[in-house]
């Protein structure tokens, strides 16, 4: 039975005085409605069976006191079978083969009972708190219910980069509190970077004396040419006592803390303190720029002795079985010039510097093993051969994770296109803070961490999923909270709930019940767009009935239809559907502002209303599958300049089956034009999305539908098409560095998929 129906029955079966149950996030495995309701009151007794249950019961007692003003008695032991008005927490050993995080929660008119292993009882308590109102404005009654619950994945992680910007202990603990609320059980603590070293190492005090501060910080995206802010940053680091405090705080909430000490790259802060561990002579300064420094650890015996010492102290602070050693984005320039590095390549019969990095990782793995730990690293550790006992965290898409699983290595899936919570959640102009990339919450929720290409045996190596929060553009906790929440709740459900039971519309309804809980925790989450708003609303009639609704309980929507910015002081409030007149081919620029009950404001969310006639189909050529391409050499600063150049003869023409850049790998300073045709399967509004490094545009029947010259963020365009054949042209620019081209489309009412699936022909 579907979850919304179950909860509807649950509400109907509850007594009249009972509050309807709140939507639970993440979605439990099984929920069955009972009859009646349990009413918490001043005479309710809390009973704990087991030491761990007592700790959980105490947390529940404190929450209930603070949220509802009920200061209940707590007792140990087992309640009498006839005792009523009891909330009973009971720990028991997990059954063989069952998750230690599983629990069973039952509530009826007599009592509430939560039973499971230690972590299971704790998670049962989190579910119980979600079944209760978030504040004491509502009666603390619970409609009768039986819940059997267990997680899909053992690793449900959330990451925080404290290397580029430092965050105080109080914020870390707040972050952990919210993780626990949503059954996230792994905190990946990114502690070292080119831009800062954040953990005290007693044997090497200069790491924090020098590495925890920098001269200044780059302003925004002014990386090249560089512009700094002129403001000294730091010092900011965690003492070992503070680390112990945070680890203990997390453990009390059944969260494992995984430290990350980056190597061999992302090490300039360490080299600023101890330049002798570089291949090139110093001095170095803690990096003030973003991006990746070419100054990395040298693979010398002195470096390994240093890392051994550092990891000895780190291992003693963190009881988790893993130490994350990074392994990503390590430029090999210094190694290529280093006599020592080249001598090691020759001595160890290594093919190149990539294999030297694998050799480096294997050396570090032995150090970590000697301390009773295992290594985990970003998917670059696959390059040149994977260390025998390494676990891979796959961030550059899923391919690294797939390859590792096929080699029988454990994997944590964390691909940027689904799991990078530092990316913007909407168009840049609608965001309150200047975040790069684009990752709406629906896309996070849509992720399945087990790729279908894997066999059942290989899928067993997928430990779970993790959301990453990189802090280049997050100078304070407010921006972290805005970026991470509520998307972390979507990720929590990806990690906990069965793929077959997940439904985004249902999640969105349940999410509305979580905003007051986040408010109570003081989380400054991103206020969601109104329901009914799209980037472009194209219609085929001269009037449109605009219907908007806030996803945030108690919020107010203000709007304008003339392109001006809405303001609560003079813009109309949206209280009922609005009829908008739309003559043929005219547009109305809709701007909306959502103001929460506490006065907090959203960004300005925009849409264009457009009564546009669909593009007619053209005559089909019935040509061969694939596309033609024209290759132009030259450095074109913009797509417009490139378009002018296409009037001339290309350096090369050819045919290709896909929009792949594989045939042009390694080339720089060129432009491509792909031409073909495709069939629109039905009349309606089509979506096209482009993301490219460096730039690309999609044209349909001679009209540019979407143009993107910002490689960090995808852009979407929409166009109404008649059923039938339409001409397709893709223009692409590559000026240097990485090269990528990602094209997607979606027919009316369908989800985005690769544009190759349109089966172009020429």
Residue 402 forms part of a structural domain: no
Of 584, 611, 638, which marks where a domain is finished? 611
Closest CA to 646 of 622, 629, 664, 623: 629
pLDDT at 711 over 80: no
What pLDDT digit, counting tens, does each position of 568-600 carry? 999 999 999 999 998 888 889 999 999 999 999
Q: What's the pLDDT score for residue 712? A: 56
Tell me the pTM: 0.86
Residue 412 forms part of a structural domain: no
Q: What's the pLDDT score for residue 429? A: 86
Domain span holding position 677: 627-758
Rounded distance between C-alpha atoms, residue 131 and residue 20, angstroms: 9
User: For position 135, which CATH number holds?
Assistant: 3.30.379.10
Once rounded to an integer, what is the mean pLDDT over residues 82-107? 92
Q: What's the pLDDT score for residue 386? A: 76
Once rounded to an integer, what is the mean pLDDT over residues 463-478? 98
pLDDT at 545 over 50: yes
Q: What's the pLDDT score for residue 285? A: 98
How is 58-90 classified by DSSP, letter by letter?
A: HHHHHHHHHHH----EEEES---TT--SEEEEE
> Based on the number of CB atoms within 10 Å of its own CB, is 666 exposed (0-12), middle (13-18) or buried (19 or more)?
exposed
Closest CA to 106 of 52, 61, 144: 144
Residue 432 forms part of a structural domain: no
Residue 713: pLDDT band with limits 50, 70, 90: low
Which is more confidently placed, 138 or 502? 502
Residue 509 forms part of a structural domain: no
Residue 18: pLDDT band with limits 50, 70, 90: very low
Q: What percent of the chain has pLDDT over 90?
A: 75
Once rounded to an integer, what is the mean pLDDT over residues 671-700? 92
Question: In this structure, are 221 and 77 located in the same domain?
Answer: no
User: Cβ(357)–Cβ(384) under 8 Å?
Assistant: yes
- Residue 690: partners with Cβ closer than 8 Å, 6 or more residues away: 696, 697, 698, 706, 707, 708, 714, 715, 741, 742, 743, 744
Question: In this structure, are 286 and 169 located in the same domain?
Answer: yes
Once rounded to an integer, what is the mean pLDDT over residues 486-507? 96
Of 149, 182, 217, which marks where a domain is finished? 149
Question: In this structure, are 459 and 557 located in the same domain?
Answer: no
pLDDT at 245 over 80: yes
Residue 580 forms part of a structural domain: yes
User: Cβ(686)–Cβ(721) under 8 Å?
Assistant: yes
Once rounded to an integer, what is the mean pLDDT over residues 509-528? 96
pLDDT at 298 over 60: yes
Q: What's the pLDDT score for residue 1? A: 37
Which is more confidently placed, 221 or 504? 504
User: Cβ(236)–Cβ(212) under 8 Å?
Assistant: yes
Of 149, 172, 187, which marks where a domain is finished? 149
User: For position 299, which CATH number holds?
Assistant: 3.20.20.80
What pLDDT digit, counting tens, does each position of 607-625 carry? 888 888 889 999 998 789 9
pLDDT at 637 over 70: yes
User: For position 578, which CATH number holds?
Assistant: 2.60.40
Q: pLDDT averaged over the chain?
A: 92
pLDDT at 10 over 70: no
Residue 444 forms part of a structural domain: no
Question: In this structure, are 477 and 368 located in the same domain?
Answer: yes
Question: In this structure, are 142 and 268 located in the same domain?
Answer: no
User: For position 644, which CATH number holds?
Assistant: 2.60.120.1560
Question: In this structure, are 227 and 314 located in the same domain?
Answer: yes
pLDDT at 190 over 80: yes
pLDDT at 20 over 60: no
Residue 22: pLDDT band with limits 50, 70, 90: low
Beta-strand runs (E) in 316-446: 322-326, 374-378, 391-394, 411-413
Residue in the structure block whose two tokens are 């005290």: 200
Residue 595 forms part of a structural domain: yes
Once rounded to an integer, what is the mean pLDDT over residues 222-246? 96
Question: In this structure, are 292 and 233 located in the same domain?
Answer: yes
pLDDT at 668 over 90: no
Q: What's the pLDDT score for residue 206? A: 98
Among 41-55, 383-397, 690-704, the minimum mean pLDDT is found in 383-397
Question: In this structure, are 483 and 336 located in the same domain?
Answer: yes
Q: What's the pLDDT score for residue 535? A: 66
Question: In this structure, are 145 and 174 located in the same domain?
Answer: no
Rounded distance between C-alpha atoms, residue 468 and residue 164, angstroms: 14
- Residue 140: partners with Cβ closer than 8 Å, 6 or more residues away: 19, 39, 40, 64, 68, 70, 132, 133
Q: Write the CA distances from 605 to 475, 485, 519, 539, 592, integer angstroms.
A: 24, 18, 22, 19, 5
Residue 675 forms part of a structural domain: yes
What pLDDT digit, counting tens, does each position of 387-399 carry? 778 899 999 889 8
Question: In this structure, are 206 and 240 located in the same domain?
Answer: yes
What pLDDT digit, counting tens, does each position of 336-349 carry? 999 999 999 999 99
Rounded distance between C-alpha atoms, residue 19 and residue 7, angstroms: 12
Question: In this structure, are 61 and 83 located in the same domain?
Answer: yes
Q: Give backbone dihedrals phi and psi of 403, rounded to 5 degrees, phi first.
A: -60, -40
Q: What's the pLDDT score for residue 544? A: 86
Total domains in the chain come to 4
Once rounded to an integer, what is the mean pLDDT over residues 491-496? 98
Q: What's the pLDDT score for residue 498? A: 95
Q: What's the pLDDT score for residue 288? A: 98
How is 11-75 classified by DSSP, letter by letter?
A: HHHS-TTSPPPPPPSSPPSEEEEEEEEEE--TT-EEEEESHHHHHHHHHHHHHHHHHH----EEE
Question: In this structure, are 57 and 162 located in the same domain?
Answer: no
């Amino acid at each position: 039975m579907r979850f919304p129906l179950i909860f509807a029955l649950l509400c109907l079966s509850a007594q009249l005085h009972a509050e309807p149950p709140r939507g639970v996030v993440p979605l439990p495995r099984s929920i069955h409605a009972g009859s009646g309701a349990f009413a918490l009151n001043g005479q309710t007794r809390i009973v704990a069976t087991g030491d761990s249950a007592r700790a959980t019961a105490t947390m529940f007692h404190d929450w209930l006191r603070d949220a509802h003003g009920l200061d209940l008695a707590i007792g140990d032991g087992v309640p009498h079978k006839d005792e009523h008005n009891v909330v009973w927490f009971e720990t028991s050993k997990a059954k063989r083969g069952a998750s230690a995080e599983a629990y069973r929660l039952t509530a009826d008119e007599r009592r509430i009972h939560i039973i499971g292993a230690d972590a299971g009882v704790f998670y049962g308590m989190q579910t119980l708190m979600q079944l209760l109102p978030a504040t004491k404005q509502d009666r603390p009654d619970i409609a009768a219910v039986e819940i059997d619950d267990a997680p899909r994945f053992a690793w449900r992680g959330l990451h925080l980069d404290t290397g580029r910007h430092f965050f105080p202990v109080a914020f870390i603990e707040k972050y952990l509190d919210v993780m626990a609320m949503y059954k996230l059980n792994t905190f990946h603590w990114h502690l070292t970077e080119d831009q800062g070293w954040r953990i005290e190492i007693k044997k090497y005090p200069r790491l924090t004396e020098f590495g925890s501060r920098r001269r200044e910080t780059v302003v925004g995206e002014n990386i090249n040419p560089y512009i700094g802010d002129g403001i000294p940053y730091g010092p900011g680091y965690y003492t070992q006592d503070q680390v112990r405090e945070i680890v203990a705080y997390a453990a009390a909430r059944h969260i494992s803390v995984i430290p990350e000490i980056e190597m061999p790259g992302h090490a300039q802060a360490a080299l600023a303190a101890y330049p002798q561990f570089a291949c090139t002579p110093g001095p170095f300064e803690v990096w003030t720029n973003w991006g990746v420094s070419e100054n990395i650890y040298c693979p010398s015996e002195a470096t390994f002795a240093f890392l051994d010492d550092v990891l000895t102290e780190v291992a003693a602070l963190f009881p988790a079985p893993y130490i994350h050693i990074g392994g990503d984005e390590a430029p090999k320039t210094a190694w290529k010039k280093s006599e020592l590095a080249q001598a090691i390549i020759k001595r160890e019969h290594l093919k190149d510097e990539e294999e030297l990095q694998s050799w480096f990782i294997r050396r570090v793995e032995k150090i970590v093993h000697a301390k009773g730990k295992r290594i985990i690293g970003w998917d670059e550790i696959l390059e040149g051969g994977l260390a025998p006992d390494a676990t891979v965290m796959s961030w550059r898409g899923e391919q690294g994770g797939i390859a590792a699983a096929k080699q029988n290595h454990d994997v944590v899936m964390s691909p940027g296109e689904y799991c990078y919570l530092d990316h913007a959640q909407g168009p840049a102009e609608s965001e309150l803070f200047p975040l790069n990339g684009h990752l709406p919450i629906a896309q996070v929720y849509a992720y399945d961490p087990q790729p279908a290409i894997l066999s059942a045996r290989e899928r067993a190596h997928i430990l779970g999923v993790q959301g990453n929060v990189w802090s280049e553009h997050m100078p304070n906790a407010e921006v972290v909270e805005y970026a991470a929440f509520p998307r972390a709740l979507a990720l929590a459900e990806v990690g906990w709930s069965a793929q077959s039971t997940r439904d985004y519309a249902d999640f969105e309804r349940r999410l509305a019940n979580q905003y007051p809980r986040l408010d109570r925790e003081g989380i400054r989450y991103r206020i969601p767009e109104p329901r009914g708003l799209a980037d472009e609303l194209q219609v085929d009639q001269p009037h449109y009935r605009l219907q908007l609704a806030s996803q945030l309980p108690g919020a107010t929507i203000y709007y304008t239809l003339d392109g001006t910015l809405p303001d609560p002081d003079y813009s109309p409030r949206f209280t009922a559907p609005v009829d908008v007149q739309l003559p043929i081919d005219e547009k109305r620029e809709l701007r909306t502002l959502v103001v929460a009950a506490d006065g907090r404001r959203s960004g300005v969310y925009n849409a264009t209303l457009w009564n546009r006639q669909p593009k007619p189909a053209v005559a089909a050529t019935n040509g061969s599958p694939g596309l033609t391409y024209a290759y132009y050499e030259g450095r074109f600063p913009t797509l417009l300049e490139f378009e002018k150049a296409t009037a001339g003869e290309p350096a090369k023409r050819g045919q290709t089956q896909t929009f792949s850049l594989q045939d042009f790998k390694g080339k720089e300073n060129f432009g491509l034009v792909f031409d073909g045709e495709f069939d629109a399967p039905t009349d309606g509004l089509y979506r096209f999305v482009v993301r490219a490094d460096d730039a690309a545009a999609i044209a349909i029947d001679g009209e540019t539908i979407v143009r993107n010259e910002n490689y960090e963020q995808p852009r979407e365009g929409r166009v109404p098409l008649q059923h039938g054949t339409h001409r397709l042209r893709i223009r692409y620019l590559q000026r240097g560095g990485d090269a990528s081209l990602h094209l997607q489309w979606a027919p009316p009412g369908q989800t985005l998929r690769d544009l190759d699936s349109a089966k172009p022909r020429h």
